[in-house]
Structure formats: structure tokens, C-alpha cells
Amino acid sequence: MAAAGMLMAWMTGSSYVWAGDANAGADVFKSECSECHSVKQGHNKKGPSLFGIVGRAAGSLPDYHYSDALHQAPWTWTTDKLHAYLSQPARKANPGTKMKYSGLDDPKQLEDLISYLDTFH
């Protein structure tokens, strides 16, 4: 277990050294997230628009009906926070959320995806 933990830490650390590839991230977004999310401003689907998500306070869009769990979440979405949140089941990262997503465990895909999201401001 300790070795696995260290390996995870090493992989996560190293993924920050490669800057993610936003073009590859667009494909990850399409296959993993676009069923429920759009990156267009003001366009909510099953989930809220992810336009400008990096730097946005959690649960803060005025025109989307959030669960209490996300509405009351105290954090702001930084790249680190998105990394931690999306690498595990959403219901574990934010108990009570209505986002049904089991997590993305490929660190390269995750980094690419977050780089992609960070291009929408």
C-alpha cells in the first residue's frame, strides 16, 4: 500500500511537469464529460456549464440548480482542486453531489483535460 501511495504521488507530481496538452484534452472532454457538460458560457446541460471553471467558486452559477452539497462547498476550482476532484468518484470527493461520475484514473488524460478546461475564460 505504501509503495502504491508513493507511486501515485510520483505520477501525480510528474504529471505537473508535463504541461497538459489542451488539444488532447478536448477529446477527453468529449468522451468523458460532454454528455452532461458544455464549455459554452451560459449553456447548462445535465451539469452546469464549465466555461471559466478554473478560478470559479464551487456551486456558484446563478442559473443552475445545484445539489446542496455542491452549492455549499467552500472551495474555488483551481487546477489542483479539479485534479483531486476528478481523479475519484464525485460522490466521494463531494458527498451528496448529484454528479454521477466515477473518476478519471489516467493521470495524463486528467492533466490534458484540465489544461483544456483552463483555456475557457
Q: Which stretch binds ligand HEC (CB under 6 A): 3-11, 15-23, 65-73?
A: 65-73
CB 113 within 8 A of CB 83: no
CB 117 within 8 A of CB 37: no
Of 109, 112, 86, the closest CA to residue 97 belongs to 86
Distance CA 24, CA 77 (A): 21
33 binding ligand HEC? (CB under 6 A): yes
CB 84 within 8 A of CB 103: no
Provide, rounded to whole angstroms, the least separation between the CB of residue 9 and ligand HEC: 22
Chosen residue from 22, 24, 26, 36 binding ligand HEC by CB under 6 A: 36
| Residue labelled with grid coordinates 452532461 | 36
Q: Which stretch binds ligand HEC (CB under 6 A): 3-11, 18-26, 93-101?
A: 93-101
Q: Which stretch binds ligand HEC (CB under 6 A): 1-9, 10-18, 19-27, 28-36?
A: 28-36
Residue 98 CA, distance from chain mean position: 14
Chosen residue from 20, 25, 58, 115 binding ligand HEC by CB under 6 A: 58
In the complex, the residues that contact ligand HEC under the rule CB under 6 A are 32-33, 35-37, 46-48, 50, 53, 58-59, 61, 66-67, 69-70, 77, 86, 97-101, 104
